[in-house]
Structure 1
Amino acid sequence: MAAAAVVHAEGVVKRFGPTLALDGVRLTVRPGESHALVGRNGAGKSTLVGVLTGLHRPDAGTVHFDGAPAPAFGDTAAWRSKVACVYQKSMVVPELTVAENLFLNRFQEGERFIHWAKLRARARALLAEYGVDVDPGARAKDLAVEQRQFVEIAKALSFGARLIILDEPTAQLDARGIQRLFDKLRDLQSQGVAFLFISHHLQEVYELCTAVTVLRDARHVLTAPVQGLAKADLVAAMTGEETSVVPDWEPAPRRVREAEPLLRAEGLALEGAYEPLDFAVRPGEVVGLAGAAASGNTALGETLVGMRAPTAGAVRVRGREVRPGSVPDALEAGIGYIPEDRHRQGLVAERSVAENATLTVTDQLGRWGTVLPSRTREFAASMIRSLDIRTRGPDQPVSGLSGGNQQKVVVARALARRPHALVAIRPTAGVDVKSKEALLAVVRRVADEGRAAVIVSDELDDLRVCDRLLVLFHGRLVAEYDTGWTDRELVAAMEGVAEGTVGGERA
């Protein structure tokens, strides 16, 4: 008789208000299996992980572990004995030792004091049981990334869990670290441990996994053995049958290609993020830096605007070299910046719309270093009209706006100095469809006015506005596209499973 599935979910439905996050999803993972869960952003992967780990109570459907119903919602200890998730961002406490992390809150049952020698011995035995070669006395912050992941996996197994969910585990690893991680996962599979592997890199799915489940638009669309599944078919399942660009945007005229660049990267490199790159953005052009997690495209965008100092190369605006790693100098040179995280990097939540929108132009709002409130409100009011920001007025706290209107305030700040080049990193993240269209129209308008724009994103809708795309994978330029690319070929290039054209040659 075949062993029961480590986990079997059937007909799972989950709603968040009016949003249907999961619509009848099913998943089965068997003992010793490495099962991939893939899908584009918003497909429902994170919500399903929340259901499988007891963080979300499903509105309908069932979840079984080893043939028995899932623990009661809120019974944390029981859920820990079934499943654990190792997230992309490590959950170990960096200042504590490996032994302390492994047995946090369960040091010595029934004893008043901690016996440190015994604790380290228990940790050493646990690590040895699963073949993890890490010093129990080492501080977690001193471990390599994959070693911290091994510690988290060992901790999960010590609770009795036989299903480990790995959420983008290779995002912060180099090639050697990925290989060490995969070798350890294969060892644990031979001991009956099952893994649910979530990754944006499909070539890793083919290297590690035996089965794959695809979600799209909150629904289950495919479960199949990896062996024998064509990469093109997997990409098609992720993207659907829509394979061509919707011509919502007019591409830049060909004369743009002959103009002198406004923004240029020359041999630009950042160690551990991306290899040396040369590219230029001309007046009237929107260039997309496409790539999935850990592709290096975000780091490249942050280097362009001075958030990171490159290890080699230079950024130039209209021929002027920008001081490396200097946001003020990039601003002065004429680079506008829309950050990826508007809450952490883009807004001062307790301040007004006017104050946020004018942060980059305070030197223009009064004489001798003063800032006149009347001039601030006047300047902000013009930006509110220009970008159609829905607000009670310039004095409203920005925290009271919707996500889309908050993002428009961030855009207003970026455009306040009328930059020569605008760099936008995932500019439509977390906004509704209508706001997304409005924000992309603003970026397009910047180029249409004769300036340059760069969009850094993995969202296909963001990239449709671009005249030209550069695709990065693990820090390397792997493909270039003019307008006319299809969803399937672009996703395949970003996922590292298809060859692209770079500079007229195959990558």
Structure 2
Amino acid sequence: MMSSSATPAVEARNITKRYGPTTALDDAGIVIAEGETHALVGRNGAGKSTLVSILTGLQRPDAGEVRFAGRQAPPVADRDGWRRNVACVYQKSTIIPTLTVAENLFLNRQSARGPINWRTLRARAHEVLEQYGVAVDAGRLAGDLNVEQRQLLEIARALSFGARFIILDEPTAQLDGPAIERLFDRMRSLREQGVTMMFISHHLEEVYRVCQSVTVFRDARHVLTSAVDDLPHDELVAAMTGEAAAGYQARARAADAGAPAVLSAEKLTLAGRYQDVDLTVRAGEIVGVAGSGSSGKVSLAETLVGLLAADSGTVTVNGARPRPGDVASALRAGLGFVPKDRHKEGFVPLLSIAENATLPIAHKLGRLGAVSPARRRAKAERMIEDLTIKTTGPSQPVGDLSGGNAQKVVMARALADDPRALVVIDPTAGVDVRAKQALLGAVEDAAERGAAAVLVSDELDDLRICDRVVVMFHGRIVKEVPRGWADAELVAVMEGVDAR
């Protein structure tokens, strides 16, 4: 643990938390100095989420204590007391989309007494937004905000309670490059104002850019706390994994230029998203699609799978033309899909691993409309083994899994029917090194079996497995880069340097 003569802003010492036979935290903890940005890193299942739930008062530890500025943390029932000490901006937004920005900002505290004065509420909201540099209209519906704006709104809401300690849980997972830079600038500004932050990320380069200290958890225990400047990258990865580890190593492969086309788009246009896109992916080929958040890459992928319908152009999957805007039609044509937002579109949290993973093939697991539990369980057990899903068994609800293991279930579902074409969007967002290896390996396995794969991502490690990468900029494909590209070359095109 770090030591300091000054009273730490946050202390969690000797924390133990058990769930039945499972130990989620084993005598672990963290100490964060006032005004610093402190990273918490570790593989999925290391205990990070459990610590967050204890630091925010959602759960009481079985042993150990939490202190804020030297004072004992409030009782769990004292929610206002916790809000005055700590707030968390989660990877999954807690903003209510059907309410306005002002209503979200002052939820459950709209008025001290009597009816709500909406003009006063909007004026108060405008003052808070202006104070923390959030450039959105207080009267705007929160559902119309983009991811970046929602995150800034959550930060402003947290600070408006008086909290000076904020936990940022994977805040960059759904942001593009420019938005990440703006977030980091905002974090530096908040730190200059004396705000203390705990930053959780699987992208280690981000830790070195914005954090002063880092704590590593592994297997429910505290492993290491160090100043970031004193900890080389390879030692940090070794602390997380228990061994020296490098980035994902793509397999040596060469796509067959003469293989049949399996997935293609011809002259696809969707107003405001992309225009005149042509793309052909052959059997056994992995094609990456890269670009900024406004490039249209995600909209293109969602059109290929039927989540969106193009205004013009055609999509062909395995020789068939699925009905535009019809996911079921694309699945019947032989397409598998991993969506961008696993929480919203990837799985049903209360259903089991077996139920989630076999949803596309339920009709094949029994007769006369009835699913055989034994066949479903057997299929799920093979999926769990193939993707090394860390679980108590096929009947465990997916909502109880760590982020990386939940994403593996989403991948398992996409591969359940041995698809001829595969479209995956940001498959490794918010997952650790080992989960990334399993997920990217699954895409490579599918290609080796002859599937045509489209991989949409900004992560350079993800794109290294691709036979070629097409880069989109402002809705158009501006360049195709063959395997073996240099980081600077690809990033320059993604950020629009070549396009200009």
What TM-score do the two structures reach when normalised by structure 2?
A: 0.66
The structural deviation recorded for 1:25 is 1.8
Please list the CA deviations of residues 198-244 of structure 1 after superposition, one character each: whole Å capped at 9, or x if unmatched: 22333322222222222222222222222353333333333331649
SS in 1 for 2:464: strand
SS in 1 for 2:124: helix
Query: Structure 1 residues 375, 87: CA separation in 2 closer, same or farther (over 3 Å shift)?
Result: closer
CA contact (8 A) 1:286 1:455 kept: no
CA contact (8 A) 1:36 1:213 kept: yes
Q: 1:8 aligns with which of 2, 7, 11?
A: 11
Residue 464 of structure 2: aligned partner:
480
SS in 2 for 1:37: strand
Distance (Å, rounded) in 2 between the aligned partners of 1:309 and 1:154: 36
Please list the CA deviations of residues 298-340 of structure 1 after superposition, one character each: whole Å capped at 9, or x if unmatched: 9887655433457999764445555554323323423356889
The structural deviation recorded for 1:23 is 1.9
SS in 2 for 1:171: coil
The count of corresponding residues between Structure 1 and Structure 2 is 430
Distance (Å, rounded) in 2 between the aligned partners of 1:202 and 1:279: 34
SS in 2 for 1:28: strand
SS in 2 for 1:505: coil
The structural deviation recorded for 1:137 is 3.8
SS in 1 for 2:29: strand
SS in 2 for 1:40: coil
CA contact (8 A) 1:310 1:324 kept: yes
Residue 491 of structure 1: aligned partner:
none
The structural deviation recorded for 1:93 is 3.2
Residue 148 of structure 2: aligned partner:
146
Distance (Å, rounded) in 1 between the aligned partners of 2:215 and 2:278: 35
Query: Structure 1 residues 113, 334: CA separation in 2 closer, same or farther (over 3 Å shift)?
Result: closer
Query: Structure 1 residues 476, 112: CA separation in 2 closer, same or farther (over 3 Å shift)?
Result: same
Q: 2:197 aligns with which of 195, 215, 219?
A: 195
Distance (Å, rounded) in 2 between the aligned partners of 1:45 and 1:272: 37
Deviates more, 1:220-229 or 1:10-19: 220-229
Q: 1:35 aligns with which of 34, 38, 53?
A: 38
Q: 2:104 aligns with which of 93, 101, 104?
A: 101
SS in 1 for 2:406: coil
The structural deviation recorded for 1:37 is 1.7
Q: 1:429 aligns with which of 406, 426, 434?
A: 406
Residue 486 of structure 2: aligned partner:
506
1:182 aligns with 2:184: yes
- Map 1:75-474; keep pairs closer than 5 Å: 75-109=78-112, 111-241=113-243, 243=245, 260-261=259-260, 263-264=262-263, 280=281, 282=283, 305-309=305-309, 316-320=316-320, 322=322, 324-335=324-335, 375-377=368-370, 380-381=371-372, 384-385=374-375, 388=378, 404=394, 429=406, 446=418, 457-458=427-428, 459=435, 460-464=437-441, 466-467=444-445, 473-474=457-458
Residue 486 of structure 1: aligned partner:
none
The structural deviation recorded for 1:277 is 10
CA contact (8 A) 1:39 1:215 kept: yes
The structural deviation recorded for 1:13 is 1.4
Distance (Å, rounded) in 2 between the aligned partners of 1:361 and 1:71: 48
The structural deviation recorded for 1:48 is 1.0
Distance (Å, rounded) in 2 between the aligned partners of 1:387 and 1:107: 50
Please list the CA deviations of residues 52-111 of structure 1 after superposition, one character each: whole Å capped at 9, or x if unmatched: 0011111122211101121122211111111011122332333434333333322333x3
Distance (Å, rounded) in 1 between the aligned partners of 2:12 and 2:126: 35
The structural deviation recorded for 1:123 is 3.3
Please list the CA deviations of residues 329-386 of structure 1 after superposition, one character each: whole Å capped at 9, or x if unmatched: 3234233568896997678999xx99x9797797x99xxxxxxx96445xx55x9548
Q: 1:52 aligns with which of 43, 47, 55?
A: 55
In structure 2, runs of 5+ residues without a counterpart are 382-391, 429-434, 448-452, 467-480, 488-500
CA contact (8 A) 1:263 1:316 kept: yes
Query: Structure 1 residues 385, 119: CA separation in 2 closer, same or farther (over 3 Å shift)?
Result: closer
Deviates more, 1:456-465 or 1:161-170: 456-465
Distance (Å, rounded) in 1 between the aligned partners of 2:308 and 2:439: 23
The structural deviation recorded for 1:15 is 1.3
The structural deviation recorded for 1:14 is 1.3
The structural deviation recorded for 1:21 is 1.3
The structural deviation recorded for 1:168 is 1.9
In structure 1, runs of 5+ residues without a counterpart are 246-250, 366-372, 392-401, 409-425, 483-500
CA contact (8 A) 1:338 1:427 kept: no
Letter in 2 for 1:404: P
Letter in 1 for 2:142: A
Distance (Å, rounded) in 1 between the aligned partners of 2:347 and 2:462: 31
CA contact (8 A) 1:287 1:470 kept: yes
Q: How big is the alpha-carbon RMSD for the aligned residues of Structure 1 and Structure 2?
A: 5.2
The structural deviation recorded for 1:158 is 2.6
CA contact (8 A) 2:360 2:417 kept: no
SS in 2 for 1:388: helix
| Structure index of larger Rg | 1
Distance (Å, rounded) in 2 between the aligned partners of 1:427 and 1:164: 24
CA contact (8 A) 1:288 1:454 kept: no
1:68 aligns with 2:71: yes
Distance (Å, rounded) in 1 between the aligned partners of 2:39 and 2:315: 39
The structural deviation recorded for 1:503 is 0.9
Letter in 2 for 1:260: A
The structural deviation recorded for 1:502 is 5.8
SS in 1 for 2:64: strand
CA contact (8 A) 2:457 2:463 kept: no
SS in 2 for 1:42: coil
Query: Structure 1 residues 192, 259: CA separation in 2 closer, same or farther (over 3 Å shift)?
Result: same
Please list the CA deviations of residues 448-478 of structure 1 after superposition, one character each: whole Å capped at 9, or x if unmatched: xxx7778874323344454469976427786
CA contact (8 A) 2:237 2:244 kept: no
Residue 469 of structure 2: aligned partner:
none
Distance (Å, rounded) in 1 between the aligned partners of 2:311 and 2:31: 46
